[in-house]
Amino acid sequence: MSTPYLEFLRAELAPGLMEGLWVSVLVIVPSALLGVLIGLTAGVLRVYGPTPVRKITEAYVSLFRGTPLVVQVFFWYFALPYIKIAGWSLVLDPIEASILAFGMCSGAYQSEYIRGGLNSIKRGQIRAALALGMTTRQAVLNIVLPQAFRRALPGCGNEIIYLIKYSSLASIITVNELTGTATTIAKNTWRNIEVFCTLGVYYLVLVTLAGWILHLIEDALSVPGFERPRT
């Protein structure tokens, strides 16, 4: 006779998942920041960069959007050490490989949202900034990007929510984050349904929390003409 669910949760499942949760946060936060940084850079370069740079960023987006994330995770963890440049190779630990994989993949998607945001800003505003004596770089950084970021924020937020969920793939390269920990507990206790349903609740809370923070950011950046629609 197994222990009741609440007792199992209190004694075994919750402490285990709490440890996994911290590892998940350790993977998700840097991945999200890396993704936004790469997304902003690649998005701007795709719209305003010189042709060769545009082509390179387009190739990056095609590659990372076009291949399964699990393949990318395996690549950074297992294949990267075999790539030697001038006799040197880079070996990443599982958490580093996960962050790089999620950040690079997320950045490719984020760049599309940023590109859409940039293209939604009327070209006339750049012309006006140039007419005031700004350089193109000043015009993009001070005029276009702040507006484009506001427009892209809901999409970028959505991508961060995806990232929270696909961080579970880190478990396949031995990272004991939420899903990895839950899998171990389930194997050891044979209480798969309870473990994975509880795991679902943890992700739901994480995603709800992230959505709430994203709304706060949207509200903080809100100015007339860029408000978040309220229902």
Partner 1 sequence: MPDLTAAASAETAPSDAILEARGLFKTLGGNRVLDSVDLSIGRGRVKVLIGPSGAGKSTLLQCLNFLMPPDSGHILLEGREVDKRSKKELCAFRQQVGMIFQDFNLFDHLSALENVRVALIKVKGLSKLEATERAVAELARVGLKDKATLYPANLSGGQKQRVAIARALAMDPKVMLLDEPTSALDPELIGEVLAVIRDLAQGGMTMIMATHQISFSASLADEFLFMDKGRVVEHGSPAELLGRGSSSRTQAFCAKISELTGEAGDGAAGECRL
Least distance between partner 1 and beta carbon 87 (Å): 42
Nearer to partner 1, 150 or 191 (CB): 150
What DSSP character marks residue 134?
-
Nearer to partner 1, 14 or 134 (CB): 134
Binding-residue pattern over the window 109 to 138 for partner 1, x denoting contact by CB under 8 A: ------------xx-xx-xxxxxxxxx--x
> Does residue 226 interact with partner 1 by CB under 8 A?
yes
Least distance between partner 1 and beta carbon 122 (Å): 7
Nearer to partner 1, 40 or 143 (CB): 143
Which of 203-212's residues contact partners 24+ apart within 8 Å by CB, and which partners?
203/164, 203/165, 203/168, 203/178, 206/21, 206/24, 206/28, 206/164, 207/161, 207/164, 207/165, 210/157, 210/160, 210/161, 210/164, 211/157, 211/161
Show Cβ contacts of residue 75 under 8 Å, excluding neighbours closer than 6 positions: 101
- How many residues sit close enough to partner 1 to count as binding (CB under 8 A)? 23
Distance (Å, whole) CA 153 – CA 110: 9
- Taken in order 164, 165, 166, 170, the sign of the CA dihedral is positive
- Taken in order 104, 106, 107, 111, the sign of the CA dihedral is positive
- Binders of partner 1 in range 140-179 (CB under 8 A): 142-143, 146-147, 150
Least distance between partner 1 and beta carbon 220 (Å): 13
Report which secondary-structure segment, H or E, holds 155: helix 145-166
Nearer to partner 1, 143 or 161 (CB): 143
Nearer to partner 1, 136 or 188 (CB): 136
**Residues engaged in binding partner 1 (CB under 8 A):** 121-122, 124-125, 127-135, 138, 142-143, 146-147, 150, 223-226
